[in-house]
A and B are shown apart, each in its own frame.
Chain A
Amino acid sequence: MTRRAVVTPLQREPGEPRVWTVSEAVRALNAALEDSLPNLVVQGEISEWKPAPSGHLYFTIKDADASLRVILWKGRVRREHESLRNGMAVQVEGHFDVYAKSGGLSLVADRVTALGYGALQAQFDALKRKLQAEGLFDESRKRPLPRYPTRVGIVTSPTGAAVEDMLRILRQRAPYVAVTIVPTLVQGEGAAAKIADAIALLNAWGGVDVMIVGRGGGSAEDLWAFNEEAVVRAIAGSRIPVISAVGHEVDVTLADFAADRRAATPTHAAQQVAPSREEVAATLEDLAKHARHRLERECREARTRLRGIATHHAIREPLRRVRDNYLLLDQRAESLERGLGDSVMRRSRGLEGMAGRLHAHTPQRTLDRAGDRVQTLLHRAGRAALDRVARGRADVRSREALLRSYDYHGVLRRGYALVWSSETGSLVQRAESLTPDAMIEVQFDDARAEARVTRLPLPARKESP
């Protein structure tokens, strides 16, 4: 703790110089300024243009060697002042005043008159016209930004707040993105060449999907490098898509015109460059859901097509093969659907295993042939079977369960039997898969019977319906 010095009351010994309080000194200075420089008109170029929420206008006017703070109080602000911008030349009529609180000298304006564009603005306009004529700003030149980049380059000052902001935003939203920073000067002598080199370096290296080129806010002079030809050409010539992010929302630079996208600020650029982890996860979930629904429908439709044929009385000859296949299809569809209830992640693993099983015992060619035939027959037989199934049954799942049991027993009731291998428990579809002495189970409509294969193959017998 330091003890605060007591500065009042002041006493003056005869012969000693007078000691002033700070307030007295500032008051005396203001009085002297008023006496010697009553009202004057100063001409200069606006920079650091800063309208305050209070309605007062604060800015700086400058020439090549000097600058002055200007205050235009709210009561003196006119409508035409709305169009004032950094870089414009103005005449300010007013008086000097030292603001007691800060001790800063300001020119307090009575009147501010625009003289048109300043020198910098003229330079900006000329270069803009030239590059525009070359087509550097054409919409058709703009490269599409990658929708899901995972490698982002950032060309900016390594020390500014802007780079910290961008890294923070990316870390929070999209930590899956790898960031490559190309440090560069962003203002002052030689900055433009350094920025252009950095952009070229990223292109030569090629390890990013997209780049952000920019810097945080500053005066028009601070941002000027981004209006220079070297930077604009480097951005336009970049093979890698570029997002410009210079200063604040109000700052528009030629770099913005050449870039594939302009972000209002570096923070905005970091938000736009890659979708957030949550957004991508939601998209993935959505895509998986669509795929799942579609496949479920596909299975349902295929099964219904086959069933429609199996139950149609007019069809005799293809009936057996269709029935065989539709039993197989049921097995496939059931195991598919069991899996489909699971979460997306576990799902894909299950499917892989299942696909292996499916391939192992699916006579694909026969199935396809049967499918084609079914299509043709469906047209002939009409859609009666389908309609009957669909009518009055809102719940798809219960409808399926019902259909399945109905059809399954229907087949057995008509006198067919299923043969199961006692050893493996699987359906026996071909005699050639059996060996003498193999134990089998024969499933009839009413019960199952165990049997042993005694002799095979037997000569063919005439089939009775």
Chain B
Amino acid sequence: MKRTTPGGVAPDAGAEEKKSFESMMERLEALVEKLEGGNLSLEDSIKSFEEGMGLVKQCSSVLQEAEQRIQKLTSDAEGKPVVEGAARARRSEEDAEGELPF
């Protein structure tokens, strides 16, 4: 799922290498499926449960992201990607105009 970035441009500005939301959701679904399967020892069940609950917490905190992040991608003279202006549009200013960074 993770893709490397040519030219050293960080696609996810600010965030260190953390698991993608997609992979966390997939892992969570797999854990619940494993639990439902019922072939685990009690110990493994508890471990799976704990891991699952940790993922639920992590995923929920991603959803708590209250602001929309917008940035612009263009290319420089050599055709290398350039990212500009990680603008944030607050949710409360629903239809505010001029939130585009360009």
Point out residues on A near B: beta carbons under 8 Å.
146-151, 153, 158, 163-164, 167-168, 170-172, 175-183, 197, 201-202, 204-209, 277, 280-281, 283-284, 287-288, 290-292, 294-295, 298-299, 302, 336, 344-345, 347-348, 351-352, 355, 358, 364, 368, 371
Contact = CB atoms under 8 A, between A and B. Distances in A.
A167 B70 contact: yes
A336 B52 CA distance: 15
A347 B52 CA distance: 11
Contacts of B69: 178-179
Interface in B10-56: 10-12, 20-22, 25, 28-29, 31-32, 35-36, 38, 40-43, 45-46, 48-50, 52-54, 56
Contacts of A171: 68, 89, 91, 94
B72 A181 contact: yes
Given A179-B70, A277-B63, A294-B38, A355 B22 contact: no
Contacts of B74: 182-183, 201
21 contacts: A149-B21, A150-B21, A151-B11, A167-B99, A175-B68, A176-B64, A179-B69, A180-B70, A180-B72, A181-B72, A202-B73, A205-B73, A207-B83, A277-B63, A284-B28, A287-B32, A295-B35, A336-B46, A345-B57, A368-B43, A371-B41
A206 B4 contact: yes
A348 B5 contact: no
B49 A204 contact: no
Contacts of A204: 6, 81
A183 B72 CA distance: 7
A183 B21 CA distance: 26
A148 B63 CA distance: 11
Contacts of A179: 68-71
Contact of B45 (A176, A284, A295, A352): A295
B49 A295 contact: yes
Contact of A181 (B4, B49, B70, B94): B70
B73 A201 contact: yes
A180 B102 CA distance: 12
Interface of B is mostly: mixed
Contacts of B36: 290, 294
A323 to B, nearest CB: 17
A150 B35 contact: no
Contacts of A280: 25, 59, 63
A284 B49 CA distance: 13
Given A183-B102, A206-B6, A348 B72 contact: no
Interface in B83-102: 83, 89, 91, 94-95, 99-100, 102
A178 B36 CA distance: 34
Contacts of A207: 3, 5, 9-12, 73, 83
Given A180-B72, A355-B50, 10 more contacts: A147-B22, A149-B22, A205-B83, A207-B12, A207-B83, A280-B59, A291-B52, A345-B57, A348-B50, A348-B57
Given A170-B68, A171-B94, A207-B11, A287 B56 contact: yes
Closest 8 CB pairs of A and B: A207-B11, A348-B53, A205-B81, A206-B3, A176-B65, A294-B35, A178-B69, A171-B68
Nearest to B40: A298
Given A150-B62, A181-B73, A344-B53, A168 B32 contact: no
Nearest to A239: B3
Contacts of A364: 43
Nearest to B89: A171
A208 B73 CA distance: 11
B86 to A, nearest CB: 8
Nearest to B100: A158
A175 B5 contact: no
Contacts of A202: 73
Nearest to A333: B42
Given A204-B6, A294-B35, A352 B50 contact: yes
A258 to B, nearest CB: 21
A201 B83 CA distance: 11
A370 to B, nearest CB: 12
B37 to A, nearest CB: 9
* Interface-central residue, A180, A182, A292, A355, by most chain B CB under 10 Å: A180
A294 B34 CA distance: 10
B73 to A, nearest CB: 5
Contacts of A153: 73
Contact of B28 (A150, A287, A351, A355): A287
Nearest to A345: B57
A306 B87 CA distance: 60
A299 B42 contact: yes
